[in-house]
A and B are shown apart, each in its own frame.
Chain A
Amino acid sequence: MSDEEDDIILSELDDEELVQQMFDDLYDGLKEEIEEAVNILLERKWEPYRILTEALVGGMTIVGKDFRDGILFVPEVLLAANAMKGGMFILKPLLAETGAPRVGKMVIGTVKGDIHDIGKNLVSMMMEGAGFEVVDLGINNPVENYLEALETEKPDILGMSALLTTTMPYMKVVIDTLVEQGKRDDYVVLVGGAPLNEEFGKAIGADAYCRDAAVAVETAKDFMSRKHNQGATG
């Protein structure tokens, strides 16, 4: 860009401009700028939850849409998520202190035999970017790992990922075990991974197949709002 664009002094921007600038900085993956802006908003007495939802989640929503639409790709999203993480690191203890509402909680991992965790990591980051609490089981999870984590973490959502033809059937093993133990309906089960499709997701008994990390976030939000509605009426 041109030199005439002088350094922007974040603290000199008014709130609205600053939030817009944070959208840009998240898009460009500028971690230090995001951290600085979060601290400025805290000094201006913004509630931590408001910073999370209006600035960080707002900015990551734009990143997610452009990722979904094939305008941004994995490298840019990783940088954006990293910048988001910088902001979240500051906000996390404050959110707990202030008793901010919980968006939702997810346990996620790649299934047994699959070490391809790039997609899974993206989903984790984007889910955190949307305000979810994510418990990441990492790679190569046998059914026992999922069961144990569901027991201890009590999440709303179980996410499973597989990238290989040789590992995708294992998702069904996990779901079948949940059914056998009568726990299937306690969780929303989302599956993803390159070789999968919607039909596959349905055939193995998942609630939804998520084509990419942005769709995973939208789907998770959708299920959470349905859950809240049920809670309100029931």
Chain B
Amino acid sequence: MTNALSQMLESRDWILADGATGTNLFNMGLESGDAPEMWNDKHPDRIQKLYSMAVNAGSDLFLTNSFGGNAARLKLHGAEKRANELSRISAEIGRDVADKAGRKVIVAGSVGPTGEIMAPLGALTHALAVEIFHEQAEGLKDGGADVLWLETISAPEEYKAAAEAFKLADMPWCGTMSFDTAGRTMMGLTSAEMVSMVEKLDHPPLAFGANCGVGASDLLRTVLSFAAQGTERPIIAKGNAGIPKYVDGHIHYDGNPDLMADYACLARDAGATIIGGCCGTMPEHLEKMHEALHTRPRGERPALDEIASKLGAFSSAADGTGDDEAAPRRTRRRRG
């Protein structure tokens, strides 16, 4: 299957993705607690500006403003019936910005988690999750997205449900998970386990990787571990610009543009092909990242201590992929 992203992946050895959506929209006046997706309809000019800022900063690919645009999430705002529509508009605005960019820019239709726990632990069934993701996928497809972009997922079951939905929509896709708990996802999945899950999918993503989580260092450790599994599939790195701080009534991320420039090059050296930011990553960060990827030569695969010295310490000693992992404290007896 050829599409805009697979063509770009064939011709380029790195692709700069975009930065934050929420952080940037706050700066444009989004109120805490409001759904960003409502702006697709109410303030299309601001969404157009959001996309343009990434494109102007050098991004080759940007995500649509549809992260919370599935029915499960929109329900909270009484807009569960608008999942398809709001997602479609987010992609239409994106298509327009990309087509006027004067160079090839990929529109990636963002799909975030449902926010619910899947059965049997939780209430969300596989069939319903597929339906929810499928509805949003069709909207993004109709709006002209080049690829779908699943992000910030923590449960493997949810990742698989999305993959199935994207097959129903007949769309190529990328999918990242968030490794924020001792180097694993909240549900306990390790980076190595994600690689093996991805390779077993019936409709695998064009690229896979990690986003958000806890800071740039942890994210790169995850990328190193993906690469160590020997996968040929392109790896995505979309880390936060440092750690959030509350300054003068708004959230500020402490990772400055120079640090993110180092992060971008280290991500490429670690084995990532699609490199971007997540929360806190503003146009000025993207510009520095773009410049650094353009001008600095590729380096050796970085060691963990090099990453820590350049970007800061890791949040946990290990990430669940080593040999010296702590074993369950209690021996599990099975009965009956």
Q: When the two chains form their complex, are residues B329 and A75 in contact, meaning their CB atoms are under 8 A apart?
A: no
In contact, A165 and B26 (Cβ under 8 angstroms): yes
Q: A residues within 8 A CB of B335?
A: 5, 7-8, 30, 33
CB pair A200 B245 closer than 8 Å: yes
- Minimum CB–CB distance from B27 to chain A (whole Å) comes to 12
In the complex, how many angstroms separate the beta carbon of B8 from the nearest chain A beta carbon?
28
Majority DSSP secondary structure for residues of A touching B:
loop
- Does A72 interact with chain B (Cβ within 8 Å)? yes
The verdict on B259 contacting chain A, using a C-beta distance below 8 Å, is no
> Closest chain B residue to A30 by CB distance?
B335
B95 interfacial contact with A, CB 8 Å? no
- Contact in complex: A73, B188 (CB < 8 Å): yes
Indicate if the CB atoms of B115 and A117 lie closer than 8 Å: yes
Contact of B244 with A113 in the complex, beta carbons under 8 Å: no
Nearest CB to that of A73 among chain B residues? Answer: B188
Within the complex, what minimum Cβ distance (angstroms) separates A165 from chain B? 4
**Residues B76 and A113 in contact, CB atoms below 8 Å apart:** yes
| Known A-B contacts A73-B184, A73-B186; A203 and B245 likewise in contact (beta carbons under 8 Å) | yes
Interface size class of A (residues with CB under 8 A): 35 or more
Interface residue count on the B side (C-beta < 8 Å):
53
Q: How far is the CA of A66 from the CA of B331 in the complex (A)?
A: 13
* Residue B180 at the chain A interface, CB threshold 8 Å: yes
Which chain A residues border B256 with CB–CB below 8 Å?
none
Are A8 and B34 neighbours in the complex by a CB distance under 8 Å? no
Establish whether residues A70 and B181, one from each chain, have CB atoms under 8 Å apart when the complex forms.
Answer: yes
Among B73, B320, B335: residue with most chain A CB under 10 A: B335
Is A232's CB within 8 Å of the partner chain B?
Answer: no
CA A29 to CA B77, docked complex, whole Å: 35
Answer yes or no: A166 CB below 8 A from chain B CBs. yes
Tell which of A71, A111, A139, A168 touches B244, judged by Cβ atoms closer than 8 Å. A168
| A residues less than 8 Å from B117 (CB atoms) | 78, 118
Bound CA–CA A72/B326 (angstroms): 10
- Contact mask for chain A residues 168-206; partner B; CB cutoff 8 A; 1 contact, 0 none: 111011000000000000000000001111011001100
Is the C-beta of A221 less than 8 angstroms from some C-beta in chain B?
no
Q: How far is the CA of A199 from the CA of B243 in the complex (A)?
A: 10
CA distance A140 to B247 in the complex (A): 24
Is B76 a contact partner of A115 (Cβ separation < 8 A)? yes
Q: Are A203 and B246 in contact (CB under 8 A)?
A: yes
Is A79 interfacial (CB-CB < 8 Å)?
yes
Q: A30-B335, A70-B320, A113-B35 are in contact. List 14 more A-B contacts (CB 8 A).
A: A5-B335, A8-B333, A21-B333, A62-B329, A70-B181, A70-B184, A75-B121, A115-B76, A165-B279, A165-B280, A166-B22, A168-B32, A172-B246, A200-B246
